[in-house]
Amino acid sequence: MGRRKIKMEKVQDTNTKQVTFSKRRLGLFKKAGELATLCNAEVGIMVFSPGNKPYPYGSPSFELVAERYNNESEDSDSCETSGNGRGNRARQEKRICKRLNSIMEQVEAEKKRGEDFEHQLETAGGEERFDKPIEELSLEELEEYEGKMMDMLDNIQGNISGMEVSSTLVIMSKDTQNK
């Protein structure tokens, strides 16, 4: 049984879209890793999911590749604009500051969301049943508990991804401003 040709069209079903994204993302990252290994190339890819979660991949690391890209683009900008370099530099710094402010706002929003989650956990009504030993919980309570733990894990992993990307961008912007 061989491979079938898949018609290229937008996937409408959200579950199918998420599964397709996950599989294609892994395939893309695998090909990028092969390219890096076979050609001794530095590869960096940033993919955003349908839910706007960032997924970076880099060989040797995404941060190093992004930093090198920024340095190279700065060098080419300075070569292209011999007399007008100061104006371009100011515009670039302004863009970086705007982006940094945007990221800082996102970080503050995530902190507030985390505080809200903590408050919800502390004040959740009816959650006292999870205070008793796990051996005393019924099967239904255990399944509910597992579901809540999985939701919490997904939220934490999403927040970690966002923070990693935000910190990478902050580091890149600081490096750019220092140069």
The pLDDT score that the predictor gives to residue 82 is: 46
Quick one: pLDDT at residue 36? 93
pLDDT tens over the chain, length 179 residues: 678 888 888 888 989 999 999 999 999 999 999 999 999 999 999 999 888 889 999 988 888 888 888 877 666 555 444 445 566 677 777 788 888 888 888 888 888 888 888 877 776 655 555 667 778 888 888 888 888 889 889 888 888 888 888 777 777 766 666 65
Q: Hey, is 57 helix, strand or coil?
A: strand
pTM, two decimals, is: 0.41
Q: What is the pLDDT of residue 30?
A: 95
Where do the structural domains in the chain lie, given as residue ranges? Answer: 85-178
Give residue 126's region: left, alpha or beta (phi > 0; psi -120 to 50): left
Q: Tokens 């941060």 correspond to what residue?
A: 63
From first CA to last CA, the distance across the chain in angstroms is: 57
Query: Is-contact 69 43, C-beta < 8 A?
Result: no
Greatest Cα pair distance in the chain: 76
Q: What is the pLDDT of residue 61?
A: 87
Supply the pLDDT for residue 25: 94
pLDDT for res 75: 61
